[in-house]
Amino acid sequence: MKIKFASTYGFCFGVKRSMELAEEEAGADVAVCTYGPLIHNDQVICDLHAKGIEKMDNIDDILSSYQRVIIRSHGISYEEYQRFVESDLDVIDATCPFVKKIHHHVQTCHKQGQPVIIIGDAQHKEVIGINGWCENQGYIIDREEQIDDLPDLDHPCVVAQTTFSLARFHSIIAALNKRFDPLQVHCTICAATEKRQNACIELAKTVDALLVIGGKHSSNTKKLVEIGGLYCPVVFHIETAQELPFQDLSKYHTIGITAGASTPDWITKEVLKTLNQEGTEQTMQEMMEEMEKEMQKIYTRAIVTGTILSVSEEGVLVNIGYKSDAMIPNNELSSKKDVPLTEQFNVGDEIEAVVVNMNDGEGNVVLSTRRLAQKAAWKKVKDIQDADQAVMVTIDEVNKGGLVAYIEGLRAYMPASQLSVSYVKDLEQYLKLEIEAKIIELNPRKNRIILSHKVIEEVILKAKADAFWETLEKEQKIVGKVKKIMPFGVFVELGGVDGLIHISDLSWGKIKHPKEVLSVGDDVQTIVLDFNRETNRISLGYKQLIPHPWDNIEAKYVVGEVYEGKVARFTDFGAFIELTQGVDGLVHISQIAYERINKVSDVLEISQMVNVKVLSVDSENHRISLSIKETLEKPERPERPERPASSSDSKPKRKRAPKRKEEKFESYTSGDDSEITIGDLFKDLDLDK
């Protein structure tokens, strides 16, 4: 057998760039994931998972559980992209530059009012993403027959999936030109794709059989299979070396090998090594001898790995590289009893089992996964627990107490209390979702596995909190989300740490409850007033970022001008009028009405809207003097009735009594110069008169 390689194969520029970006994040000290598969190669996805980079398909799960996200090489829609950009996540855009260019073309044309035609597979992630950049209003076609179904379009813009067949693209464009004039065409098929397809054609013309290596879901790999089949009668599509069809390949002298753009070199080298081709030819006899050696290893109780050939309700037929195929009966499968086998096993998948019978009477080897799974699964689960590793599990059942998932075929339970650090009311939303968990309890004897997603959240929150505390400073402005509202204040989630806005720091005006200002779920900008890491307390301010209502108050409320206000409260001497939140003015009781009033409440009501005139403004002491009566029309005084005239023109003036002179008594003596006492002075007075 002679092996020939295509002149160009394997990773393209865009895929290589995305892999390099992902490799740089391996071992990062933050939670990293990719949105969807980074590239269409299951082996690469598994390798990234082993390096700590998870594949996540739900944006909400990414936003809640991860700190860094890698956008897949095929790109995403504009709406999805904006959700990531506007979040707190670190976004690493690994979108292929050629795909990004298509996004730009589509978005520009759509904004200019041009209809967009996308040539490609409508189900492919790249095409779905492209359509998202024109608000999902693009017309997607992949065959000439679909052109007649298009409506009449004015000057449409045409782009193509990067991995679309170049020949088919030109054929469709020719048909579109007959239908639409003018037609704006952007040939967006990747140059590397075109080069790889041409190399595949040249190789296919010179070999007896063509071997195409790449993911079964990879569009560019499937295009190579399609193109190769036009020039070579025999084409094999495999993902890994384990799928090599040795018996079929042995029929051909010259084998050509090419690989898709998402196929890493190590898989291609593994295929080459398996074929045992290192620049020399290998005889059929040597290949048969190697196959015989492999067959000699098949014996009862041997553990073997095979490829599923077919699936039915009776069981699974497996190719184990032996002279005859092996059968795993339904009762020997470690499967979920309430799910059809066709939904649990796929043709082409690898499966490991133990040999229980070398011949079932029809020449088939009988295998069992059930007998192998019990011991092997518990060992794997124990290894996972010992290594304190997280696992991705799919929730298969939901009950009142928690969630049920399967790890290595073993039933595992996650109590509701272990689902999240916060209370989750609706458990049904997790059904069929894939979530990350850790094993917190393991007991093979009791067949018990207890999972927890909460411990993962706690680690993430602690890491966020530690990073947060390291950068926290007083007077630092920070954005958070309102988590809980209490009568005394508002708790704000700041990324693993909660801060409190006291009710007194919510508003410059007086409020009865924090709900008057904020609501749960609000994104709010705050300022750090004080913090204490030892007590895990952060005091936040909200009103401090709002201009003080008394700033420049003289310009806001000019003396002599009339404004509208609301009666806020009464006092014995008047009423306070709220001009705006945080600014009250006083209307003295004498300034309420022109007529005399005894009580303010006789004239005004709380929350009543009134017009007031500014009498004075004292910005330093935060005082404003107001008047209501001066906004009212002054009542006219009734004229006094005239009095009848008297005999004299004027009333005689009343004479004042003359002032009594003070008499000074220097001395009082009698005629004979004898001394006179006080009693002598009054004895002759008739006091009764």
DSSP track, 356-416: EES--SSSPEEEESHHHHHHHHHHHHHHHHHTT-EEEEEEEEE-SSEEEEEETTEEEEEEG
User: Where residue 211 falls among pLDDT bands split at 50, 70, 90?
Assistant: very high
| Cα separation, 27 vs 19, whole angstroms | 14
Stretch 390-404: mean pLDDT, rounded? Answer: 91
Closest by CA position to 235, among listed 204, 265, 262: 204
Tell me, yes or no, whether 577 and 528 share the same domain.
no
Q: Alpha helix locations (H) across 392-532? A: 454-471
Instruction: Give the three-state DSSP class for 439.
Output: strand
Q: How would you label 215-235 residue by residue, b for 16+ Cβ within 10 Å and e otherwise?
A: beebbbbbbbbbbbeebbebb
Domain count of the chain? Answer: 5
pLDDT at 635: 80
pLDDT tens for each residue of 164-195: 887 889 899 999 999 998 999 988 887 667 77
Q: Which of 606, 631, 656 is the last residue of a domain?
A: 631
pLDDT tens for each residue of 12-52: 767 878 888 888 888 778 889 999 888 888 888 888 888 88
Q: Which of 607, 631, 655 is the last residue of a domain?
A: 631
pLDDT at 663: 43
Quote the percentage of the chain above a pLDDT of 90: 35
Tell me, yes or no, whether 427 and 446 share the same domain.
yes
pTM for this predicted structure: 0.39
| Cα separation, 190 vs 194, whole angstroms | 6
* 675 has a pLDDT exceeding 50: no
Q: Which of 631, 659, 682 is the last residue of a domain?
A: 631
Tell me, yes or no, whether 165 and 104 share the same domain.
yes
The domain containing residue 532 runs over which residues? 472-545
DSSP letter for 114, please: -
Closest by CA position to 163, among listed 284, 78, 50, 40: 40
User: Where residue 563 falls among pLDDT bands split at 50, 70, 90?
Assistant: very high
Instruction: Give the three-state DSSP class for 628.
Output: coil
* 685 has a pLDDT exceeding 50: no
Tell me, yes or no, whether 354 and 380 share the same domain.
no
Closest by CA position to 142, among listed 113, 163, 157: 163
Instruction: Compute φ and ψ for 531, nearest 5 degrees.
Output: -155, 160
Stretch 587-604: mean pLDDT, rounded? Answer: 89
Tell me, yes or no, whether 111 and 181 share the same domain.
yes
Tell me, yes or no, whether 345 and 423 share the same domain.
no
Q: Are 102 and 134 in contact (CB under 8 A)?
A: no
Tell me, yes or no, whether 479 and 449 share the same domain.
no
Of the listed ranges 65-79, 287-301, 616-630, the least confidently predicted one is 287-301
pLDDT at 231: 92
Residue 112 belongs to some domain of the structure: yes
Contacts of 479 (CB under 8 A, 6+ apart): 523, 524, 525, 526
Residue 270 belongs to some domain of the structure: no
Tell me, yes or no, whether 413 and 427 share the same domain.
yes
Instruction: Compute φ and ψ for 41, nearest 5 degrees.
Output: -150, 110
Closest by CA position to 481, among listed 419, 448, 509, 523: 523
pLDDT at 297: 65
* 312 has a pLDDT exceeding 70: yes
* 575 has a pLDDT exceeding 50: yes
DSSP β-bridge partners for residue 392: 436
Instruction: Compute φ and ψ for 427, nearest 5 degrees.
Output: -80, -25
How many Å from the N-terminal Cα to the C-terminal Cα in the chain?
A: 166
Residue 322 belongs to some domain of the structure: yes
Q: Which amino acid is at 398?
A: V
pLDDT at 465: 82
pLDDT tens for each residue of 352-377: 888 988 877 656 789 998 888 777 78
Tell me, yes or no, whether 378 and 364 share the same domain.
no
CATH number at residue 382: 2.40.50.140
Stretch 283-296: mean pLDDT, rounded? Answer: 44
pLDDT at 363: 62
* 162 has a pLDDT exceeding 70: yes
Strands 68-71, 583-588: pairing is unpaired
* 521 has a pLDDT exceeding 50: yes
Tell me, yes or no, whether 498 and 433 share the same domain.
no
User: Where residue 644 falls among pLDDT bands split at 50, 70, 90?
Assistant: low
| Cα separation, 478 vs 665, whole angstroms | 93
Of the listed ranges 57-66, 299-308, 589-598, the least confidently predicted one is 299-308
Count Cα neighbours of 152 within 13 Å in the Cβ-side half-sphere: 0
* 256 has a pLDDT exceeding 80: yes
* 536 has a pLDDT exceeding 90: no
Stretch 80-105: mean pLDDT, rounded? Answer: 89
pLDDT at 362: 59
Stretch 654-679: mean pLDDT, rounded? Answer: 47
DSSP β-bridge partners for residue 489: 486, 502
Closest by CA position to 262, among listed 45, 496, 5, 503: 45
pLDDT tens for each residue of 435-489: 999 999 999 888 899 999 999 988 888 888 888 888 888 988 999 999 999 999 9
pLDDT at 39: 85
Residue 51 belongs to some domain of the structure: no
pLDDT at 687: 47
* 83 has a pLDDT exceeding 60: yes
Residue 247 belongs to some domain of the structure: no
pLDDT at 669: 39
Tell me, yes or no, whether 179 and 105 share the same domain.
yes
Instruction: Give the three-state DSSP class for 96.
Output: coil
Residue 46 belongs to some domain of the structure: no
pLDDT at 551: 83
Residue 664 belongs to some domain of the structure: no
| Cα separation, 19 vs 72, whole angstroms | 10
Instruction: Give the three-state DSSP class for 125.
Output: helix
Mean pLDDT of the chain: 83
Q: How far is CA 212 from CA 237, 282, 425, in A?
A: 5, 20, 50
Of the listed ranges 260-269, 314-323, 440-449, 542-551, the least confidently predicted one is 314-323
Please list the active-site residues. 126
Residue 518 belongs to some domain of the structure: yes
Tell me, yes or no, whether 514 and 558 share the same domain.
no
Both tokens of residue 161?
């999936």
Measured on CA atoms in the order 40, 42, 46, 49, is the torsion positive or negative? Answer: positive
Count Cα neighbours of 355 within 13 Å in the Cβ-side half-sphere: 22
* 268 has a pLDDT exceeding 90: no
* 491 has a pLDDT exceeding 60: yes
